[in-house]
């Protein structure tokens, strides 16, 4: 029995260590609305919160409107709503992408946007 418990403990440790060794995956999505109104921005934000938050493997989720008051030469203003999701690893993202809740978000909200830009990258947290 002790051997079995030790084996399970070792397996759990190895699994957690392997997951920690993988880079996180940042999924950044920028939506250009077909009709840029405060109501449409809020609809898209609400839809993202409803369908895209709280997925397994998400370590960070945020969604919000363009910060119009930040107006430096380098600021890209070609979107109205930004979605930021960081997954624990690529495998978590690969479960999210085909998930029915993700597909429902697209189905219910795609009429709101005219363009979507997706930027995926591997990231690590600062030490």
What are the structural domains, with CATH classification, of the chain?
Answer: 23-123 (3.30.70.100)
pLDDT at 56: 97
> pTM of the predicted model, to two decimals?
0.82
Q: pLDDT per residue over 56-89, tens digit each?
A: 999 999 999 999 999 999 999 999 999 999 999 9
Listed in sequence order, the residues at least 6 apart from 70 whose beta carbon sits closer than 8 Å to its beta carbon are none
CB 121 within 8 Å of CB 26: yes
């Amino acid at each position: 029995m002790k051997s079995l418990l030790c084996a399970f403990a070792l397996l759990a440790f190895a699994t957690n260590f392997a997951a920690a060794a993988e880079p996180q995956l940042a999924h950044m999505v920028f939506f250009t609305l077909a009709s840029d109104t405060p109501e449409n921005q809020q609809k898209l934000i609400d839809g993202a919160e409803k369908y895209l938050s709280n997925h397994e493997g998400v370590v960070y989720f945020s969604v919000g409107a363009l910060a119009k008051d930040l107006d430096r030469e380098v600021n890209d203003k070609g979107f109205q709503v930004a979605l930021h999701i960081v997954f624990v690893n690529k495998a978590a993202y690969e479960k999210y992408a085909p998930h029915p809740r993700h597909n429902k978000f697209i189905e219910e909200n795609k009429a709101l946007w005219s363009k979507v830009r997706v930027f995926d990258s591997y990231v690590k947290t600062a030490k």
